[in-house]
Structures are given as C-alpha cells and as structure tokens.
C-alpha cells in the first residue's frame, strides 16, 4: 500500500484513468494502489457514478467503463511527459525495428495532446538525454510487434529458425506464449509442435516468420512458473 494516500480529487481522477485504460479492475487492486480501504474505493466509485460516469460492475470480478463511453484526451504532467521521453531514448536503442517504429508512433500521438509549453520542454529534454547502449542503433529483428499480436490473439506462427549452435535452418509451427528480453535480444517462448515442448526462440535467429490464420487453444501458460522450472532444471546437479 502507498505510505501516504493521495488527495481524494486526485484519486478520483486516477481511478477514472485506470478504468479508461483497463478492461476490468477490482476494488482490492484500487485499494492497494491508493493506500485506502476498500470501503473508501466503494465511495469513490459511487461518486464517479453520481457525476455521470457510466461504470459497469461485474459481480465478483470488478469494474469497467460502459462500452462506447469515451473521455477527453488525457493531460500529462511535466514529470509524466519527461518519463515517457526518457523511455523513448531507451527504446530507440532496441534492436527490434518494429518495436521502435510503433513506440515512435505512439509517442507522437502523446506529444499531440501536450500543451505548448510542455512540448517545448520535452523537445529540450530529448536533446539532453542519451542512453549509451547500442549507440549505433543496430537492428537484428523486425518481428516483435507481430509476435506480440500473435500472443494476444493465440495465432499460430510458422517460422524458419536458424539454430544458435550449428546454424541449421529448421521450419517450425509454434504457439507463441510469452516474450522476454536479455542481453539485447528479444526471446519468444513458444510451444514447438515439432518438438512437442516449450522452446525459447531468439528473434535475431528467425529468418522468416508468418502469422497464421489458424488459432490455438489456450494452454494456461504462466511465465513465472516457466522461469522457475527452467531455473530448477539448470540448477540440477550433473
């Protein structure tokens, strides 16, 4: 829980932003985030409803905004805008081109809603921040965004993959489960239908990738459980 609850008006505004950005959020999550009781969250939700915000409650699940309801553009504080600009400098050093392109598109839309004085300040900050990693902006992959979409839509991936140790090219049908990043490489965890097991695929080793129209059934994959099982295997005595 937060060490010091924020003022109620700020909390109401923040709850509204969370509802706008999430499909479903429950009172326990909001209580922990803002450091207040669940009863206080109930009162906050009721206040928002009384002010005309159409909040839908799913019994036992949480709250969401009514489908189709839109809010005015979000106004960013100077600190929030600075954080986004800083993140941009880090992301621009990433080796996946699709990730860089989509973030740049997103940050451009964000800048469009900033007030003029904040736009000037963010432009100044852009020229005063450097992230010294992959300074030459080398690119080793261009598939991150496509794979992310395949994960969320449970779409089968057909790929040509070059093995790390012998560079042998194999053709795989993979059910994408998750992504992680390490040592400047993005890695996809997927259920390989050829091996009938989970495998890690480095994006820089993918020669060709095609997102299939065929969907796969949910395997109820849990990323932390996967990492734990890998750690246990690696720590087994030989």
Whether the CB-CB separation of 63 and 25 falls below 8 Å is answered with yes
Quick one: CATH architecture of 144-234? Answer: Roll (2.30)
- What phi and psi, each to the nearest 5 degrees, are found at residue 160? -105, 120
CA atoms of 42 and 195, how far apart (whole Å): 50
Angle between helices 27-34 and 8-21 (to 10 degrees): 130
pLDDT of residue 216: 96
Q: pLDDT in tens for each of the 238 residues of the chain? A: 444 556 788 788 888 888 887 788 999 999 998 889 999 999 999 999 998 889 999 888 899 988 877 666 666 778 888 888 889 888 988 999 999 999 988 888 778 777 778 888 888 888 888 777 877 778 999 999 999 999 999 999 999 999 888 889 999 999 999 999 987 789 999 999 999 999 999 999 999 999 999 999 999 999 999 999 888 777 666 5
pLDDT at position 93, please? 87
Q: Where are the domains of the chain?
A: 8-65, 78-126, 144-234
Burial class for 187, CB neighbours closer than 10 Å (0-12, 13-18, 19+): middle
Residue 166 · residue 173 · CB < 8 Å: no
Outline where DSSP puts E strands in 147-221.
Answer: 155-162, 169-182, 185-192, 197-202, 206-215
CATH 1.10.10.10 fits 8-65, yes or no: yes
Cross-strand partners of 222: none
* Rounded CA separation 95/53 (Å): 42
Could you give phi then psi for residue 174, rounded to 5 degrees? -125, 135
Please report, for residues 9, 12, 31, 47, 237, the alpha-carbon distance to residue 6 in angstroms, rounded to integers and kept in the order given.
8, 10, 12, 17, 51
> What is the pTM for the complete model shown?
0.68
Residue 111 pLDDT:
80
Note whether 8-65 and 144-234 share their fold. Answer: no
Q: What's the CA gap between 151 and 232, in Å, rounded?
A: 26
């Amino acid at each position: 829980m937060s060490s010091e609850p924020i003022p109620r008006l700020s909390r109401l505004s923040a709850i509204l932003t969370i509802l706008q950005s999430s499909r479903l959020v429950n009172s326990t999550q909001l209580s922990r985030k803002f450091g207040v009781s669940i009863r206080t969250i109930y009162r906050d939700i009721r206040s928002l409803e009384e002010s005309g915000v159409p909040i839908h409650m799913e019994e036992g699940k949480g709250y969401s905004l009514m489908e189709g309801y839109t809010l005015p553009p979000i106004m960013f504080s100077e600190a929030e805008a600075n954080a986004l600009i800083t993140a941009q400098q880090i992301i621009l050093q990433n080796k996946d081109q699709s990730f860089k392109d989509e973030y740049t598109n997103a940050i451009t839309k964000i800048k469009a809603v900033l007030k003029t004085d904040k736009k000037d300040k963010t432009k100044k900050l852009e020229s005063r921040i450097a992230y010294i990693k992959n300074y030459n902006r080398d690119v080793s992959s261009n598939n991150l965004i496509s794979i992310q979409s395949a994960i969320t839509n449970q779409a089968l991936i057909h790929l040509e993959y070059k093995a790390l140790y012998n560079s042998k090219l194999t053709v795989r049908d993979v059910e994408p489960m998750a992504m992680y990043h390490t040592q400047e490489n993005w890695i996809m965890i997927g259920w390989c239908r050829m091996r009938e097991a989970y495998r890690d695929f480095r994006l820089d080793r993918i020669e060709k990738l095609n997102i299939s129209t065929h969907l796969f059934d949910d395997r109820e994959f849990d990323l932390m459980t996967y990492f734990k099982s890998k750690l246990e295997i690696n720590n087994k005595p030989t």
